[in-house]
Structure 1
Amino acid sequence: MQELTKLEILEILNDWNYWNRDFEEYIPRQEYLDRIKLFRKSGEIIVLTGIRRSGKSTLLKLEMQSLAEEKSKKELLYIYFEDPRLSDNLNTKTLDLILEVYRENINPKGEIFLFLDEIQNVSGWEKWVRTAYELKKAKIYVTGSSSKLLSGEIATSIGGRYLNIDVYPLTFREYLIFKGIKCTDLMEYTARKTDINRFFTEYLRYGGFPRIATVEEDLKKEELISYFNTILLKDIMARYGLKNYDKLKTLAEYILSNDTKQNSISSIGKALKYGYNTTGDYIDYLKQVYMLFEIRNYNYSLKKQIASDTKYYTTDTGFVNTLSFSFSGNMGRLFENIVFNELKRRGGEIFFLNANGHECDFIVKSGDKITECFQVCYKLNEYNKKRETEGLLMACRKFGLKTGFIITESYSEAFYEDEIKIELIPITAFLLKIPVS
């Protein structure tokens, strides 16, 4: 492709930046904005990573809007590296030229706050960013849609110079805010219970991507299909030079239709008649673009833990339902996936525990200790209560915990078994952190 002229670059920069226009209005995600503002004080490179369309670009623009309260807009330079007008072969020369054009035409001498959106599209970006940081050319913000962004040599290149924030689709609390509902205590939770339950069903069905929360219902599925296809085509196929889209799509659909179940690379490959290496590579790609997360059966032996079967969870339940799998027939799995996503966002390492004929859905490790155990049961009844309780008690006894939690559709109570407290919590109360017992 022919190299862009300076005039063409200036036109692109003018289209994306706010030097002569107002910022758009966005619903703020306050926890992320507070962390970005805190990290800003450090002077380090700020890196936002997460699945495509999770809201990284919007967070950059809200940070720009915050900075504009005390800085000139012309000190803010935003570059979106998925603009089709930019070269398909983006490299550090492109970055040099963009900065040169910006200095010549917009901000000759002032401070620069540089926002590099979807930076993984630029070959060799990490060394350029490191040099710009070391020479104090700019305060730098970076986003990317691949976990590889900060792995291996790249992490080494800018290691010790960046602070990372993982950006996820909306939590249920954020989803309600997007719907105009603020729920922070038991009184509000009780008063708005009907609306909360209605929006939870919507959240369960369509997931938490920010735009999905705001578009009309008849457009939600089409948007999600577009996200799914774009992630596979652009973030995996194009990036890794793959040729067989149908094969990758089939594997993604297979895992999404069997998420929350114990699996292994061998069993998935055998089911699809794929080779072991191909299956492992495809799964790794899906993890790198944040479509999938995995957890393993906990064991004190790291070697045995690594060799154990795996459970996969999707970063957004909207993908499961969009691929035409039964919604009502999958409520138990969807509940489990929603709880996993919430625990993931709260921090700590997450495992499942399968031992002595019993299973506990989630155990959470903080530091070097197991601190919490959770079962997830959509409909708790006389037929499954013993099984769910025994699995939870097994985990609590193993790790010396005095309390275990069962997340259900609507039950709220507490009882004791062998001096261990079992708390039953409605899933909406759990997601909103509302104490109900």
Structure 2
Amino acid sequence: MSLSSLIAEYLDFAVPTYIERPSATLDVPAPARNNVIHTITGVRRCGKTYAMYQLMNRLIEAGVPRNRILHFSFDDDRIMPFSDHTLADLLDEYYRMVPEALDGCYLLFDEIQEAPYWTNFVRRVAEQHNVTIVLTGSSSKLLSSDIPTNFRGRSLSREMWPLSFREYCLFQNIDTTDIGGEYPSSVRRPLQTAFAEYLNVGGFPAVQHMGALDRMRLLQGYADEIVTKDVLERFETTSLRVATRFSRSALRSTGLKFSVNAQVKALRGMRVPISGNKLYDLLDDFEDAHLLFKVGDFTLSIKDNPRSSSKVYAVDPGLSLAVAPANHMAIGQRLETAVFVELKRRYGGNRSNTIATYSAANCPEVDFVVGDEATGEPYQLIQVAAQTGLDATTVTDFAEQNLSAKFRSEIGNLDAAMRNAGLSTGTLISLEEEGLVTVPAGTIEVVPAWKWCLRR
């Protein structure tokens, strides 16, 4: 198929129907030379292309002529095989077909990393042409850490994630309207039910209205596709068999300590020769691909990534459930995973923030601490417990609560961490309980996860 025919098809392409996602809103400047290059990264199938469609609609509604917006996907097999000049030929042909685009146009390129020399091409066009450039790509191939180097500091990167709980409710047409931060019972009850489903379904847009079996199969396919296309094709770390097995084990361990050494022993027991260093590298590759994330202790997180056992979290609770054996994964793991991913949405874009676990001599573990990576100062402490045993919805003294030993320990650890960090407040996120508990260090807010996730 000729380039002119392909370009004509993309220019005639009608933006498909979509549900607008606030997290996918992009503000871009009018076309000009030396504009900042915008990039959208994130796990496969989380909605990056639809963020492009959302931008296209906004531009058209603002009066930008449709032919001044060139959206093109470079994983289109009709443009392959790529030559060294494919990108330049494509743009030249577009300008020939739409001469007025030389005065200013929007170039929205999907999966551009598939083409050779794409960084040089994008940098040159941004410097020499009146354009606004937006790029998307699989996160392991369009790494946000690589972009500042490739584009000499003239880029802005946006991470996208699967649907947040608020967006999940939007997709399911569930009311999230609050009144001064409070929810009437007619709204509260559907939200409680919706959150329980969210922990099962997760936030990948395409699975939202699927039956359970089809959803599980598609999500398993996503996990395998990420391993194959975003890890092995880029890094060539190890064999497909090892990578797939290792990824499944890590995803099933979401919210738990994950021992690489134990995985080495298990693989060797199957007569698969593998080294610990190879699996540590593979775990790093999974993180680059946004498949899962390692979370170490806060006191260690500001050091050079010590290779020790750490907790891992999947990018989505529905994805981790899909690869787990039936009835294998506790709801507490999925709840903790949903909280972690929401923390990444809120704080992950700021490079000075770190999200870690917290432990000390008087505090075996608090699930999450958010702190300043540069100074090592924590400023938010969060414990996650599916059930707390809290039986009050008002301020209650910790000593007066009839809590189980397990959850008394959860609150005790949070109190100790608050004292160590000099913080007077902490948060305990549960499935349904709500209230305030006074402890020696200050006050702990017990908040239902659905309500916490809906906070802006």
Q: One fold, TM greater than 0.5?
A: yes
Shift of 1:149: 2.1
2:7 aligns with 13
Displacement, 1:206?
1.9
- Over 3 Å counting, the alpha-carbon distance change for 1:420 and 1:242 in structure 2 is closer
Query: Retained in 2: the 8 A contact 1:299–1:305?
Result: no
Structure 1 pair 111–126 and aligned structure 2 pair: CA distance change class (3 A): same
Higher mean C-alpha displacement, 274-283 vs 183-192: 183-192
Question: Structure 1's 221 and 11: CA in aligned 2 closer, same or farther, altered over 3 A?
Answer: farther
Q: Which moved more, 1:57-66 or 1:316-325?
A: 316-325
Instruction: Choose the corresponding residue for 2:104, options 104, 107, 111.
Output: 111
Aligned to 1:354: 359
Equivalent-residue separation in structure 1 for 2:405 and 2:8 (angstroms): 64
Matches within 5 A, 1:51-66: 51-66=43-58
2:311 corresponds to 1:311: yes
Contact 1:408 1:425 in 2 (8 A): yes
SS in 1 for 2:135: strand
Partner SS, residue 378 of structure 1: coil
How far, CA to CA, are the matches of 1:425 and 1:318 in structure 2? 22
Q: In the TM superposition, what is the alpha-carbon distance from 1:302 to its structure 2 partner?
A: 3.8
CA contact (8 A) 2:175 2:187 kept: no
Q: Is the contact made by 1:205 and 1:327 (CA closer than 8 Å) also made in structure 2?
A: no
Deviation by residue 1:154-178 (Cα, 9 ceiling, x = unmatched): 5312032111100000100010011
Aligned to 1:96: 88
**In 2, are the aligned partners of 1:251 and 1:272 still within 8 Å (CA)?**
no
Q: Distance in 2 between matches of 1:303 and 1:23?
A: 46
Greater mean deviation of Cα atoms: 265-274 or 139-148: 265-274
171-180 or 362-371: bigger deviation: 362-371
* 2:301–2:356 CA contact under 8 A, matched in 1: no
- Residues 30-429 of structure 1: pairs in structure 2 closer than 5 A: 30-33=22-25, 36-37=26-27, 43-69=35-61, 70-88=63-81, 90=82, 92-108=84-100, 109-150=102-143, 154-185=147-178, 186-188=181-183, 190-241=185-236, 244-273=239-268, 274-299=274-299, 302-303=302-303, 306=306, 309-327=309-327, 329-347=329-347, 348-356=353-361, 358-366=364-372, 368=375, 369-381=377-389, 382-429=404-451
**Percent identity between the two aligned chains:** 27
Whether the aligned pair in 2 keeps the contact of 1:294 and 1:313 (CA below 8 Å) is yes
Contact 2:280–2:307 under 8 Å retained in 1: no
| Secondary structure of 1:325 counterpart | coil
- Give the stretch that moved more between structures: 201-210 or 219-228: 219-228
TM-score by length of 1: 0.89
d(CA) in 2 for partners of 1:336 and 1:200?
13
Change (3 A) 1:376 1:126: same
Alignment-mate amino acid for residue 50 of structure 2: T
* Structure 2 counterpart of 1:157, one-letter code: N
* Bigger helix fraction: 1
**Do the aligned partners of residues 226 and 416 (structure 1) sit closer, same or farther apart at CA in structure 2, a change above 3 Å counting?**
same
CA distance in 2, matches of 1:281, 1:328: 27
Name the SS of the counterpart of 2:378 in structure 1: strand
Aligned partners of 1:117 and 1:144 also within 8 Å:
yes
Contact 2:49 2:136 in 1 (8 A): yes
Question: Residues 267 and 355 of structure 1: is their aligned pair in 2 closer, same or farther, counting only changes over 3 Å?
Answer: farther
Counterpart-to-counterpart distance in 2, 1:416 and 1:233:
50
Q: 1:166 to 1:326 in 2, by over 3 A?
A: same
* Equivalent residues of 1:256, 1:314 under 8 A apart: yes
**SS in structure 1 opposite 2:249?**
helix
SS of the residue corresponding to residue 313 of structure 1 reads strand
For structure 1, the residue ranges without an aligned partner over 5 or more in a row are 1-6
CA contact (8 A) 1:407 1:430 kept: yes
The 1:48–1:153 alpha-carbon spacing in structure 2 relative to 1, beyond 3 Å, is closer
Segment of structure 1 superposing worse, 187-196 or 64-73: 187-196
Other structure's SS at 2:142 match: helix
> Within 2, Cα distance between the matches of 1:286 and 1:391?
31
Secondary structure class of the residue paired with 2:19: coil
* Structure 2 residues without counterparts, runs of 5 or longer: 269-273, 348-352, 390-403
Relative to structure 1, is the Cα distance of residues 245 and 114 closer, same or farther in structure 2, using a 3 angstrom cutoff? same
Q: CA deviation at 1:91?
A: 5.3
Q: How far apart are residue 55 of structure 1 and its match?
A: 0.7
> RMSD over aligned Cα, in angstroms?
2.5
- Separation (CA, whole Å) in 1 of partners of 2:146 and 2:159: 20
The one-letter amino acid of 1:200's match is F
Tell me the residue number matched to 1:4: none
User: What is the rounded CA distance, in whole Å, between the counterparts of 1:426 and 1:154 in structure 2?
Assistant: 38
